[in-house]
Amino acid sequence: MTLGSILSEVAAEEKTVVVYSPDDTGEDLAERLATRNLHVDHRKIPSISADAFVVVRDGSRFRGALSLSDLLVFLSPPIHRPEDLDSVDAAYRALFELLDQTVFVTLDRRQLLATSREIEDRAWRTGRGRLHVGFQSVAAFEAQAGLYRDLAATTDVDVHVYVPAGAPSGYLDDAPLTAHTDVDEDLARYWFILFDGHGEAGLPDGQTLADDGTESAQSCALIAEATGPDRYRGVWTYDPDRVARAFEAVT
C-alpha cells in the first residue's frame, strides 16, 4: 500500500449526484463538483417545492439525499465536521460518509492549507494520537516546522515530520518529535497530513483499537500531489480504515 495506490483506489469510486430542481438552480453545480470525484446529472421536479435537492448514488445504491444548499456548504473547504459524530443524527453521519471518499482534482494551495489547518486543529483539541506530516517543498517545511514543534511540545500527540531533501539540517533537533530525514522519492511526491486520535499507546489499559469507537471518529487524512503550478489532486478522508492504511504507507 502506497499513498499513490490510496489515491487511485479512491478515484475509482466515482459517485453520481443527481440534482433535482424545479428550475435551473444548480446548473452550475457540475462546475463546482468538478473538483470532486462526482458525476452530475440534472432532472426536473414539479415546482411545488421551491428547494432543489440532490441524491447521491454509488452505482445502483442510494447513499444519501440532501438539499442543494446543504451540499454547497459541505463542499466548501475547509472541511467542517461535527466534533462528536455520535451525537449527530444518523442521516448526517451518512452524509459525511458519502462525501468523505471523494477525490478533489483541482484544489489550490490555499485550499489545501485550509484543510491542513482543520486537521491540525483537531490534533490540538484531541491532544493525543499520532500526527504524521510530509511536505513537497523545503519552503512549506520551513513555514510549518514551528507549528509542529509547538504541537509536539504542548500536547501528547506523537508527531512525525518527514523532512524534504535539501531542508536545512538541525531545524527540529531540540523538538520532542520524530524527524525523518531519509524520505524516499515515492513519499516525497506527496503533501500529506495524517492524524488519528488514539494511537495504540493512547488507549486506556485493556482497550484495543478495535474496541475504540469514539476516538477513531477523529481519524482524518489529507493526501495530495502537485499536478501543476498551484494545482493539486488528492483526497481527504475520515474513513478510519483508510487513514490507518495511509499510516502504514508512510511508516
- Residue 250 CB, shortest distance to another protein, in Å, is 32
- Residue 100 CB, shortest distance to another protein, in Å, is 13
Rg over alpha carbons for the chain, rounded to the nearest Å, is: 19
Residue with smaller CB distance to another protein, 20 or 104: 20
105 in Cβ contact with 35 (< 8 Å): yes
Place of cell 509542529: 148
**How many other β-carbons are positioned within 10 Å of the β-carbon of residue 15?**
20
H/E stretch holding 90 reads: helix 90-100
Residue with smaller CB distance to another protein, 65 or 223: 65
Q: Which residues bind another protein (CB under 8 A)?
A: 18, 20, 22-25, 44-55, 57, 61-67, 70, 89-95
Specify the amino acid at residue 57. Answer: R
- Residue 72 CB, shortest distance to another protein, in Å, is 13
Specify the amino acid at residue 146. Answer: G
Residue with smaller CB distance to another protein, 63 or 189: 63
- Residue 1 CB, shortest distance to another protein, in Å, is 28
- Residue 180 CB, shortest distance to another protein, in Å, is 40
156 in Cβ contact with 215 (< 8 Å): no
- CA distance linking residue 65 with residue 56, whole number of Å: 6
Residue with smaller CB distance to another protein, 17 or 107: 17
Residue with smaller CB distance to another protein, 91 or 139: 91
Specify the amino acid at residue 244. Answer: A
